[in-house]
Chain A
Amino acid sequence: MMTTLFNLCFAIYLLALVTAAIALFAWRKPLSWVSIGALSAGALLQTVYIGMRWVEAGRAPFSNMFESLVLFAWALAVVYLVVRARINIPALSTATCLMVLLVMAYASAFESDIKPLMPALQSNWLSVHVFTCFLGYSGFAISFLSAIGFLVIARANSKCPDETKNNIDMVTAKTISFGFLFLTVGIITGAVWANSAWGTYWSWDPKETWSLITWFVYAIFLHCRYMRGWHGRRAAWIAIFGFCCVLFTYFGVSRWLPGLHSYA
């Protein structure tokens, strides 16, 4: 049942990607709506999937790589739908659908069995901490896609209207602001949780430290943008670098720098 639901989500996201890609070149409006409808349906179905897994496991399903990737894909879809409600950039739709699909495909490479949690993870802070972190990561992921989009149109298509460039640039900044707020909440809830479990809110664990590094990079972005007026390419490059830090924090640290978060 759960596997069927997971595969159905994947199929719906695939439909969203295909329709978004076609909408880039033809039948723009109708297919664009089909794509957004499919993405919404996929996110809704995935909410049901996560809910069912939550009930079955008797805990928040955010504790291993499979579960966190499923949450990441869900958060990406939901955060993008919020962005899409404010502004429509077809290329960003396609790129986001592709990323959601890739994350789901990567998740399916990991073991999906429900396993008992180690004592330190049996806390309500787990759900808040992981959930907020992944909302933040999703904001950064979309900022990464829009930053790449900006660099592409700024280089290849000088005829692209300034309004489009400004819109993409603004999406980068807004999603980084969103991601920064939620990463901050994620780091704080992790610190409070660590203090209740181990008696220390900060222990320079690799995952903690790399979250801080990521936070610093985006803090520099926000200062450069809002205090020094950095827009366009320079801002886009920092956004891309920031997401590389996110990727290392998420995957690299778990793989190469084991610590308190080595289970994740």
Chain B
Amino acid sequence: MAADAQDTPSQTQKPKTKSVAARITRVLASVPFASVVVALIAMACIVGTLLPQGQQVQQYLTAHPEREGLMSALDFAGLTHVFSALWFVGLLLMLAASLAVCSFKRYAAAMRLHGRPRSRAFGSLITHISMLLVLCGGVVRVVWGERGQLGFREGETAETFIVENRSVPLPFKIRLVKFTTEHHKVAGTESVTQEEEELLHVRIKNEENVWSIPVMEGASHALTAEDATPSAKNTYQVTILNRLPDFVINGGHATSRSDELNNPALRVQVIHNATTNIQWIFALHPGFNMHATSNQIPVEMIYTTEAPAPQSEQPVKDWKSTLEILDNDVVVKEKTIEVNAPLSYKGYTFYQSGYNPNDPKWTSLQVVRDPGVPLVYTGFLFLIVGLTMVFYLYPHGRHER
């Protein structure tokens, strides 16, 4: 009897339990549930981008100290670290559960009806599984991944890297052989290739006055001392005949090797008191004049171009670090890394990260070990294939119309 009494409830409970599980499964696989979860994640993302997050909170409080109470309340509600908050992770888990149940139900239904997934359903299945793979890859990264920094100078070898203020050993050594910073030349040279930035300074001997003439080929200027009346005796007619930015003698003729201001030179004609003087003036060699005719006219001329900006002020083009990996003190790998081209060895990847403008031989590297990347990339591939199948290989439109 007792046994009967014990048996009876379990017999009646079993189908009830099954129906609760079925109900949960049905809810998880439903479009409204998935839509609500996705909408909640989207809203959380909006909050996460509009409110200060993580380290931004301190910066915000420095600018608005009066809002400390508000920020404390937001922090308590988990709204100042949305993307690492437990409730956000919970939403992502609900999405993952929805994707998993939905994928399984579709697969099971297709197998029951057709013995295999239909082509369009197969695309949809791949799409949903792909997102599960990406989420799994993210979990692997959080649980088993490492991410830190490593800073050293040329010639130094490192065996550890820093993860949140603690030193983590590397299973090998890494040496910085060379570090270089490359700069764009554009900003400096562009400004000096404009002719109006270039000046020809002319001073008549024994005169204090200096004329600064903008350099332009063919430009002619009549210069007369302030207290003198313009006449053939008092006036100096200065004409810029030629401008060569990169002066070179080629085949006995002066010519320019390029448009770069590597050796800027001017051919200047000065006419004074029926005497003509033509000479070459060099910006980089102010004392050196090449005379094409006799120099009987008492004038001094200096040609200046605006000095290019110091290299450190020019925009950085690239940073390059030549690295050696030493495994058991033997060099097993060598590579010059730069931004967008890291070095990988034994699951660790080294990214060009930072530099010190005051110490050109020092660099910092980002050190990452993320065993979830293959899962994530497989998910990415599946996602593109799945969506292409759903939209273009077996589109809904054919059935829709």
Contact = CB atoms under 8 A, between A and B. Distances in A.
A37 B341 CA distance: 44
Nearest to B40: A216
A89 to B, nearest CB: 15
B31 A227 contact: yes
Chain B interface size, as a band, is: 35 or more
A188 B370 CA distance: 17
Contacts of B368: 199-200
B42 interface: yes
Nearest to A195: B373
B383 to A, nearest CB: 6
Given A120-B339, A170-B400, A224-B31, A188 B42 contact: no
A174 B397 contact: yes
A184 B387 contact: yes
A152 B133 CA distance: 42
Interface string A157-195: 000000000100010011001101100110010011101
A171 B178 CA distance: 57
Interface stretch (B251-259, B273-281, B312-320): B312-320
A174 B83 CA distance: 33
Contacts of A180: 387, 391
B111 to A, nearest CB: 20
Interface string B35-73: 100110110011011100100000000000000000000
A43 B19 CA distance: 59
A220 interface: yes
B388 A181 contact: yes
A209 B339 contact: no
Interface string B310-341: 00000111110000000000000000001111
Nearest to B83: A204
Contacts of A212: 42, 45
Contacts, number: 109
Instruction: Say what secondary structure dominates the interface of chain B.
Output: helix
A123 interface: yes
Chain A interface size, as a band, is: 35 or more
A224 B35 CA distance: 9
Contacts of B46: 213
Given A170-B400, A174-B397, A216 B41 contact: yes
Contacts of A170: 397, 400-401
B376 interface: yes
**By CB atoms of chain B within 10 A, which of A177, A188, A199, A220 has the most?**
A199
A178 B388 CA distance: 9
Interface string A15-54: 0000000000000000000000000000000000000000
B35 A197 contact: no
A120 B42 CA distance: 28
A201 B388 contact: no
B222 interface: no
B317 A119 contact: yes
Contacts of B83: 204
Interface of B: 31, 34-35, 38-39, 41-42, 45-46, 48-50, 53, 83, 138, 147, 184, 186-187, 315-319, 338-342, 349, 351-352, 366, 368, 370, 373, 376-377, 380, 383-384, 387-388, 391-392, 395-397, 400-401
Interface of A: 116, 118-120, 122-123, 125, 166, 170, 173-174, 177-178, 180-181, 184-185, 188, 191-193, 195-202, 204, 206, 209-210, 212-213, 216-217, 219-220, 223-224, 226-228, 253, 257
17 contacts: A116-B186, A116-B317, A125-B340, A184-B384, A191-B376, A196-B340, A197-B339, A200-B368, A201-B376, A202-B138, A204-B48, A210-B45, A212-B42, A213-B45, A216-B38, A216-B45, A223-B34
For the complex of A and B, the 9 pairs showing the least CB-CB separation, nearest first, are A199-B368, A119-B339, A116-B184, A123-B340, A216-B42, A177-B391, A188-B380, A199-B351, A206-B49
